[in-house]
């Protein structure tokens, strides 16, 4: 089976990007090993006002230290850090955005969680998602899976018994499918969103929603459909973060022939104003995203 190294060597990715992707992907093993001793909460909150799980802060510190030591990264923006970390001594020009542990509240109930990462070049994280140089996520489920794009389509790898990433699926294309999931309480959905979900249900779409964005998205990537975390009454920006969650996942979705929007426009074209800004998001099969065009996405 093709290894991650062999795949990367066959792409046009520059040497330092290949090194950075391999370095980040390799952190799946120590992160997964830390689950057992980091089941509780850290007693702190992140910039979004959410209580941080012990694994949120552990994964954040761990990945940040690895990136700092690499000398490849000039900036790091993390869901779990208030400010952008600048690393002026780095010789590299990459900038990393990350959600170090997405869905962390699910670790103690043994459901799939993951690490979401976006990589920019030109040394700054404050760029729209469409400018990403690469995006990836590690998904910690029955397998440890790496979903990766370096701008040449989407590949899915899995760790084998030798702790080596081997190619599971090449050039992934998101099918139309019939799965849907939506965050937010139904009692505060907007009329437009409730109408869209009703349409999905009337057309026989099946509900898939675990509480882990990265795990729920991976199902959509494989089987097709849509994941929504919409604007709700009182929270017009929704819950998920533009830079750390929506952009990397949206970049991967687009590279696999899918699409992402916020109910009005393509999320990947948004120029971020603040690192922790939130965005409503609809991500999934292109036909379904276009189908909501009139009511949600234009």
Give the 3-state secondary structure of 126-159.
Answer: CCCHHHCCEEEEEEECCCEEEEEECCCCCEEEEE
Q: Where does this chain touch ligand FBP (CB under 6 A) — which range of 60-68, 87-95, 209-217, 256-264?
A: 209-217
Quick one: 115 or 127, whose CB is closer to ligand FBP? 115
Asked if 211 touches ligand FBP (CB under 6 A), the answer is yes
Cβ atoms of 231 and 237 closer than 8 Å: yes
Whole-angstrom distance, CA of residue 8 vs CA of residue 4: 6
Instruction: Assign 90 to helix, strand or coil.
Output: coil
Q: Where does this chain touch ligand FBP (CB under 6 A) — which range of 37-45, 69-77, 98-106, 246-254?
A: 98-106
- Per the listing, tokens 């970390």 go with 85
Encoded one letter per residue, x for contact with ligand FBP by CB under 6 A and - for no contact, window 232-251 reads: -------x------------
Applying the rule CB under 6 A, the residues between 45 and 84 that interact with ligand FBP are 50, 79
Asked if 103 touches ligand FBP (CB under 6 A), the answer is yes
71 is an annotated ligand-binding site residue:
no
Asked if 90 touches ligand FBP (CB under 6 A), the answer is no
Cβ atoms of 251 and 118 closer than 8 Å: yes
Whole-angstrom distance, CA of residue 128 vs CA of residue 272: 6
137 is an annotated ligand-binding site residue:
no
**One residue of 60, 75, 99, 262 binding ligand FBP per CB under 6 A:** 99
Quick one: 115 or 254, whose CB is closer to ligand FBP? 115
Quick one: 99 or 121, whose CB is closer to ligand FBP? 99
104 is an annotated ligand-binding site residue:
yes
Whole-angstrom distance, CA of residue 185 vs CA of residue 168: 36
12 is an annotated ligand-binding site residue:
no
Q: Where does this chain touch ligand FBP (CB under 6 A) — which range of 138-146, 207-215, 267-275, 281-289?
A: 207-215
48 is an annotated ligand-binding site residue:
no
Whole-angstrom distance, CA of residue 224 vs CA of residue 226: 7
Quick one: 41 or 71, whose CB is closer to ligand FBP? 41
Quick one: 189 or 213, whose CB is closer to ligand FBP? 213
Asked if 182 touches ligand FBP (CB under 6 A), the answer is no
Whole-angstrom distance, CA of residue 132 vs CA of residue 254: 12
Whole-angstrom distance, CA of residue 191 vs CA of residue 183: 15
Residue 50 Cβ, how far from ligand FBP at the closest point, in Å?
5
Q: Is the dihedral of CA 283, 285, 288, 292 positive or negative?
A: positive
**One residue of 213, 226, 260, 268 binding ligand FBP per CB under 6 A:** 213
Closest-CA residue to 178 (of 144, 154, 207, 198): 207
C-alpha pair distances (Å), 298 with each of 189, 191, 192? 19, 17, 13
Q: Are strands 113-120 and 134-140 parallel, antiparallel or unpaired?
A: antiparallel
Residue 219 Cβ, how far from ligand FBP at the closest point, in Å?
12
**Binding-site residue positions:** 79, 99, 101-105, 209, 239, 245
Residues that bind ligand FBP (CB under 6 A): 50, 79, 99, 102-104, 183, 211-213, 239
List, as residue ranges, the binding site for substrate: 102-105, 209, 239
Q: Which residues are annotated as a binding site for Mg(2+)?
A: 79, 99, 101-102, 245
């Amino acid at each position: 089976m093709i290894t991650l190294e062999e795949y990367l060597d066959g792409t046009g990715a520059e040497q330092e990007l290949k090194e950075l992707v391999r370095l980040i992907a390799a952190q799946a093993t120590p992160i997964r090993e830390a689950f057992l001793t980091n089941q509780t909460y850290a007693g702190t909150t992140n910039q979004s006002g959410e209580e941080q799980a012990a694994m949120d802060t552990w994964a954040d510190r761990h990945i940040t230290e690895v990136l700092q030591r690499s000398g490849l990264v000039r900036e790091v923006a993390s869901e779990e850090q208030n400010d952008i970390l600048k690393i002026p001594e780095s010789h590299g020009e990459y900038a990393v955005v990350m959600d170090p542990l997405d869905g962390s509240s699910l670790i103690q109930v043994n459901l799939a969680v993951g690490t979401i990462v976006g990589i920019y070049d030109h040394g700054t994280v404050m760029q729209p998602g469409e400018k990403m140089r690469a995006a990836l996520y590690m998904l910690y489920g029955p397998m440890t899976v790496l979903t990766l794009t370096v701008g040449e389509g989407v590949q899915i790898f899995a760790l084998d018994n030798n702790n080596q990433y081997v190619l599971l699926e090449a050039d992934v294309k998101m099918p139309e499918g019939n799965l849907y999931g939506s965050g937010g309480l139904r009692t505060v959905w907007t009329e437009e969103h409730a109408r869209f979900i009703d349409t999905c249900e009337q057309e026989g779409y099946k509900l898939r929603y675990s509480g882990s964005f990265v795990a729920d998205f991976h199902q959509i990537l494989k089987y097709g459909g849509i994941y929504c975390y919409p604007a709700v009454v009182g929270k017009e920006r929704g819950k998920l973060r533009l830079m750390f969650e929506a952009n990397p996942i949206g970049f991967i979705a687009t590279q696999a022939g899918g699409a992402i929007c916020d109910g009005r426009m393509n999320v990947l074209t948004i120029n971020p104003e603040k690192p922790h800004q939130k965005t409503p998001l609809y991500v999934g099969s292109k036909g379904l995203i276009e189908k909501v065009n009139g009511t949600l996405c234009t």
